[in-house]
Amino acid sequence: MTIFKRQIIQEIQTYLNDNSVIVLHGARQVGKTSILYYLRETLTDKGERSCYFDLEDSRYLKILDSGVDPFVRYLTEHGFIPANPVGRLYVFIDEVQYMADPSPFLKLIADHHRYLKLIVSGSSSFAIKDKFKDSLVGRTVNFEIFPLSFREMLTFRQIHFEEGVEYTAPKTDELLDLFREYVLYGGYPGIVLTSEIEKKEKLLQQIVDTYVRKDIRDLAGVIDIDKYNKLLETLASQAGQLLNVAELANTTRISAPTVEKYLFILESTYIIKLLRPFSNNIRSELFKQPKVFFYDTGLMQILWLKAMQKEIIGNVFETAIFSELIKKYPSDSIRYWRTKDKKEIDFILNLHNLPLPIEAKLNFDKFKPASIRYFNKEYNIEHYKVVGLRGTRKNEQFIYPWML
């Protein structure tokens, strides 16, 4: 089986030789296990020793839950730690959230067994944070793993692409067709590598049924499943819109505190992201409503429309652009902007205190510049970006999604 290199792997590799515990967070099926396999293969090619434990296997879970000393004894008895060890043993632990109490286990190894380098993964930051204690502060380095970006989709499909190149019309048309596919079906690796639409839909439905409707439902302690499912459907239909908790509570007949609890867990399990408004006044920002986005357009559409679509809907395209931004830039650098008189910009990318307004328009010709002109005048800037698929690119500010 071919294991492709994800963009985040290079960053992870820079921490392989220090004393931190590497932790990968992310939803199910986004490729965390494949990243562990890739890292392990790379280390093996360099002559390094490693071992791998999948804690969905109850035999391995029992060994790790028994404590550090029995675990080290197991490694020694099975030849992973030789009599006169030289160098490090890289220990990969998949689905670490299944451990009853992982914090003391990881802390003891990090502090007293530094010849063991731990690289662990978990399917939910909520489950991990719930079990990880303050004693691990300063001992872990954390990476968020998302569904594939468009560039990664091209890599997985083995389609040639170079960043920053202005392509010919035929190549641009090919990339446009591929991005349309990416918007319609999303970026889960299993979906990207499946060619038949029926199979894509079935795989996405399985992710919804097992992870979104079951695993997360269990984490949230959902009692009324129908209301929870209604909440998911409503959120998916409102992607890209302002989030009103009171309105959500009224629509789903769930109490407002419970809605807030579900939102927190859905965000912690990488299904949704609550996007905060951009403002120079931090105090006022705290009182403004967030927008709700899904990390994956395929998942969003299955929850909302119950089937794959043949045409791209506006808020689905906006969600795809959000998804591309969140995978490339720090999450706290991405905001939206809206005034009381409803001037609005889809995204503000704020890097090094230099805000860049970004509008997502399926058709470039539908772009209206009034809001961006107002924003740029207020913040004394000139640049902006309009991201689209159709219509006429009027100048260098008009870009295709892979040019973000």
- Residues 19-37, buried b or exposed e (16+ Cβ, 10 A)? ebbbbbbbbbbbbbbbbbb
Note whether 278 and 356 are within 8 A (CB): no
Q: Report CA-CA distances (Å) from 26 to 31, 278, 290, 334, 389.
A: 9, 26, 22, 19, 29
pLDDT at site 282: 55
Maximal C-alpha separation, the chain: 72
CB within 8 Å of 258: residues ≥ 6 apart = 249
Fold of 9-145: Rossmann fold (3.40.50)
**What residue segments make up the domains of the chain, in order of their start?**
9-145, 151-403
Q: In terms of C-beta density within 10 A (0-12 exposed, 13-18 middle, 19 or more buried), how is residue 188 classed?
A: buried
**Short-list 369, 368, 366, 357, CA closest to 388:** 366
Q: Classify residue 248 as exposed, middle or buried by CB count within 10 Å of its CB (0-12, 13-18, 19+).
A: buried
Nearest to 115 by CA among 181, 19, 36: 19
DSSP label of 17: T
Helix and strand numbers (H, E) in the chain are: 18, 12
Q: Tens of pLDDT along the chain (404 residues)?
A: 678 999 999 999 999 999 999 999 898 899 999 999 999 999 999 999 999 999 999 999 999 999 999 999 999 999 998 877 678 999 999 999 899 988 889 999 999 998 999 999 987 655 666 667 666 777 889 999 999 999 999 999 999 999 888 899 999 999 999 999 999 999 999 999 999 999 999 999 999 988 888 888 887 888 888 999 999 999 999 999 999 999 999 999 999 999 999 999 899 889 999 999 998 765 555 458 899 999 999 999 999 998 889 999 879 999 999 999 999 999 999 999 998 888 899 999 999 889 999 999 999 999 999 999 999 998 999 999 999 999 999 999 999 999 99
Contact 30, 153 (CB under 8 A): no
Question: What angle separates helix 68-77 from helix 58-65, to the nearest 10 degrees?
Answer: 120
pTM above 0.75, yes or no: yes
C-beta of residue 347 within 8 angstroms of C-beta of residue 336: yes
Q: What angle do CA 195, 152, 234 make, to 5 degrees?
A: 75
Distance (Å, whole) CA 91 – CA 101? 18
Supply the angle between the helices 297-305 and 169-185 in degrees, to the nearest 10.
Answer: 50
Of 116, 119, 169, nearest to 140 by C-alpha is 119
Residues 5, 39: Cα–Cα separation, whole Å:
9
